Chain A
């Protein structure tokens, strides 16, 4: 069995994929994972997930170029400059 290992470096942080280990069952996987990813106190917690249980989606295509729901869809610099100039002209 292949187990994917995710480790949390410090409390409060997100778990990150660290690597995989091969083990005949979960009991052995726990021992191996402790040795590989925890023996120097470099992790506060580990998640072990059988590789088969992972469902990967990787088909994220932005066919319509929908920038309106992202920050890069809003470049305000030119508009802000114009608005400031207009405001200055109105008060001046």
Chain B
């Protein structure tokens, strides 16, 4: 198979298995994309971890812990896929803690209040699941297959987040203000989440059919699904230009792409702290890996 034939095959809906021949360029793009997804799952638990001990009830603590466990589990599954493509998990973690690898913009921000926990679990997870559902059709079959399990678990996370938000919205003015204040802070990063609106034909991840939709399609789907749900609770979206046109397309203020670039290249308000925590945790647990691997050998 030539590279052109391979491209034609994946663009026609064909799927690829680990041991199939694939162009080096495709393998490199897969590793980059999937590794970033794994990093995001692993780093994504840190903003929520900060709230496990401060969660208002035992039920909430348990749910948050379960969610954190799910996300770490996703990272394990995803790094396994990367490993089969040729990059070991330890190498992924080296690149992550040294700041060479990227993870999603939303995990570089602080979680200031319990309102953040609700907004993250509801809306950040909603934005993520839109991207992840589009990966169910990924041309790389082993990744598409684990995405089924991941999407199944994410659906619990969205419900949990919505439950937290609804509980606050049914509470006191102060509680409602927590949600509004968190939503106002998170709106910018949420709008940046799906990336700049390059035409999908120019997006190498779409060309290789690693992703099955363009960035703007994903954002439109997010707005269409969730803005009405936000509005019906009486919450305000901090964008005066936001509206749905008669043809069904959402208009909005241009997201701050400079902020996105700046944040994902390691300059977010919490990037350094969280990478440092990950680095220290890895050092502290090194002896466990040594003992386990020595005993198993």
User: A residues near B, CB below 8 A?
Assistant: 2, 17-22, 24-25, 28, 32, 35-36, 39
Contacts and interface: CB of A to CB of B under 8 A. Distances in A.
Contacts of B77: 19, 36
A32 B69 CA distance: 12
A18 B83 contact: no
Nearest to B72: A35
Contact of A28 (B89, B149, B296, B297): B296
Interface in B146-178: 146, 149
Contacts of A28: 292, 296
A20 B80 contact: yes
A25 B80 contact: no
B145 interface: yes
Nearest to A26: B296
B89 A19 contact: no
A35 B80 contact: no
A36 B145 CA distance: 14
Interface string B103-131: 00000000000000000000000000000
Contacts, number: 30
Interface string B265-295: 0000000000000000000000000001101
Given A25-B296, A28-B292, A28-B296, A19 B73 contact: no
B220 interface: no
A28 B294 CA distance: 13
Nearest to A32: B76
Contact of A36 (B76, B83, B297): B76
B161 to A, nearest CB: 18
A35 B77 CA distance: 12
Nearest to B293: A24
A39 B295 CA distance: 26
A2 B69 CA distance: 21
Contacts of A21: 76, 80
A18 B146 CA distance: 8
Contact of B73 (A24, A25, A36): A36
B149 A24 contact: no
B295 to A, nearest CB: 8
